[in-house]
Structure 1
């Protein structure tokens, strides 16, 4: 499974190489627009794209980007909750992990 993260194209940095800057949740990173360069690159400014390993894989609309960002945020919170539960179960299963020594 590959995971695409929504990012908004904010700057074309190297048109001949089809490179641009995308903003992903407040962080800017350079991405390749080659997979989505079916039109002039300047027309992609302001567009939302799904980014995977440094490549803009698909142009998406703003609603889809927002829904994906919410889902990714929720998945992150769920993962944190699962990790906290697992940590609690490990501590419960191993009484020696309470910091005291049994000698």
Structure 2
């Protein structure tokens, strides 16, 4: 689950409907119109798409009017190292001292 939408105007009587619009709605993001719970339907990959622009609205089902102004938000997908390393020639031999700082180049490697 991604997270719930909620408005203080929701009296809990079932008259509030939550709606979601934008990129990936229905295919990547789905919303339960009664509870406002947003779910992600698949894994997100930054190489495919790095951000999604969404707009959420809570409406009164009796009048069809928004209970408050819509909220717009951006979901930024963080990158993880999900691709195996590729070395141009084999064998590749390198040494990095134990407890080296992140970004330390292997000894004898070109920077």
TM-score (norm. length: structure 1): 0.29
Structure with the higher fraction of residues in helix conformation: 1
Q: TM-score, normalised by structure 2?
A: 0.27
